[in-house]
Amino acid sequence: MKIIPPCGIPLQREKLKIKNFWTAMFENNKLTILLGIKYPIIQGGMAGVSESSLASAVSNAGGLGVIGSGFAPADWLDEEVKKTQQLTDKPFGVNLLLQNPGAADLVKVVIDRKVPVIFTGGGNPLPIMPYLKSAGIKVIPVVPYVRLAVKMEQSGADAVVLEGLESGGHIGESTTFCLIPQASAEVKKIPLIAAGGIYDGRTFAAALLLGANGVQIGTRFMVSNECQVHENYKQAILDAKDEDITVIARFTGHPVRVIKNKFVDTIRKIEEKNPYPEEVKADRFAGSKVGAGNIDMSPLLCGICAGGVKERKSCLEIIDEIINDGCARLRAASNLID
């Protein structure tokens, strides 16, 4: 009896060995081929969190590290790209927040520095896409709806990240569990990357079974040894349970998922006064470095999956664990067919 793994490669289950399974799943995977990486794992481009140390560690471990530019100026991004190029010879990417007033200058940096992959969020990427693609840069928009994923494919995107509301930071309204199978039925030509709620082998395997070609992971990498956020922030994530994580600023149209703390209480009091959306600006949530370890009055962006994240490890250990456990679970799931 033949089975068809998520990558679409027919194999004889009785002859399947781990090495062959890895080859089928990853070496022939649309996303790994597109990006030239070993495993279909993307590190989320988290503003104020993802910089050269984290991005290079993820890339060196076989995934794709991503620098999160957020509202940073062009000179900061230029320096972080140069550092990353010194720390790894593997592919890496940059996430461009299109709400940044200096986004045009950031685009110049990534073109000048020959960054291989760009992720976009917080705005319409279509106006800048021709400039990036003409420079040989792969463009991967991050979107919250199936309709937008289809639009990006039609508009020439190289891949698309479909992000569920389980993720940290700014979120949409649909779950990863529902978005991915619906999108996989519509997005046929380019790789589909699942994001939101993915942090271990089980959730990695589930995303592939739902129809994704790869995953984007943020919260799990925030507590990695190489991530430069404050230790108090990391500990807050490790201590958090699912009920400790909430959403604020819904009235602005840009809701944000964070860990409950005094900062959240302050925003909630502002919301009770029925303010204009402009009074709670998006940039107050962009960037999650906790100055001097003050986790009480800082926005602690993280996903619901923090409730399942309990250990600090290196990026290499995290990726190895996800791949090994994910493969084992996919092979076990195939046994259920008989």
pLDDT at 244: 96
pLDDT tens digit sequence for 155-182: 999 999 999 999 998 888 899 999 999 9
pLDDT tens digit sequence for 320-336: 999 999 998 888 877 76
Range of the domain at 292: 231-307
- Could you tell me if 160 and 278 lie in one domain? no
**Any idea which of 49-53, 271-275, 276-280, 307-311 has the lowest mean pLDDT?**
276-280
Confirm whether pTM is higher than 0.85. Answer: yes
pLDDT tens digit sequence for 221-261: 999 999 999 999 999 999 999 999 999 888 777 789 999 99
Give the gyration radius of the chain's Cα atoms: 19
pLDDT at 117: 98
Q: Measured between alpha carbons, how far is 294 from 279 in angstroms, rounded to an integer? A: 23
- List the Cα angle 34/128/137 in 5-degree steps: 25
- Could you tell me if 163 and 96 lie in one domain? yes
- Could you tell me if 155 and 301 lie in one domain? no
The predicted model gives 288-293 an average pLDDT of 59
Is pLDDT at 40 greater than 90 in this prediction?
A: yes
pLDDT at 277: 66
The predicted model gives 22-44 an average pLDDT of 88
- Could you tell me if 201 and 303 lie in one domain? no
- Could you tell me if 271 and 320 lie in one domain? no
**Any idea which of 190-194, 203-207, 270-274 has the lowest mean pLDDT?**
270-274
- Could you tell me if 237 and 224 lie in one domain? no
CB 68 within 8 A of CB 49: yes
Provide, rounded to the nearest whole percent, the portion of the chain with pLDDT above 70.
86
Greater confidence (336 vs 39) lies with 39
The predicted model gives 66-95 an average pLDDT of 97
pLDDT at 23: 59
End-to-end CA distance of the chain: 9
Tokens 């503003």 sit on residue: 47
- Could you tell me if 237 and 133 lie in one domain? no
- Could you tell me if 9 and 111 lie in one domain? yes
Tokens read off for 11: 């194999």
- List the Cα angle 207/218/173 in 5-degree steps: 65
Q: Measured between alpha carbons, how far is 230 from 36 in angstroms, rounded to an integer? A: 32
Alpha carbon 117 to chain centroid, angstroms: 13
- Could you tell me if 192 and 240 lie in one domain? no
- Alpha carbon of 168 to those of 38, 51, 183, 225, 288: distances in Å? 26, 17, 21, 19, 11
DSSP letter (8 states) at residue 261: S
CB 155 within 8 A of CB 187: no
- Could you tell me if 163 and 18 lie in one domain? yes
Is pLDDT at 208 greater than 90 in this prediction?
A: yes
Is pLDDT at 153 greater than 60 in this prediction?
A: yes
Q: What's the total number of domains in the chain?
A: 2
- List the Cα angle 82/84/88 in 5-degree steps: 125
Is pLDDT at 4 greater than 50 in this prediction?
A: no
- Domain containing 211 — which CATH number? 3.20.20.70
> Coil, strand or helix: which one is 177?
helix
Banded model confidence at residue 8, pLDDT cuts 50, 70, 90? very low
- Could you tell me if 171 and 261 lie in one domain? no
CB 65 within 8 A of CB 94: no
Q: CB neighbours of 201 closer than 8 A, spacing ≥ 6? A: 321, 322, 323, 324, 325, 326, 327, 328, 329
- Could you tell me if 281 and 320 lie in one domain? no
Provide, rounded to the nearest whole percent, the portion of the chain with pLDDT above 90.
72
pLDDT at 227: 96
The predicted model gives 188-204 an average pLDDT of 97
Is pLDDT at 44 greater than 70 in this prediction?
A: yes
pLDDT at 159: 98
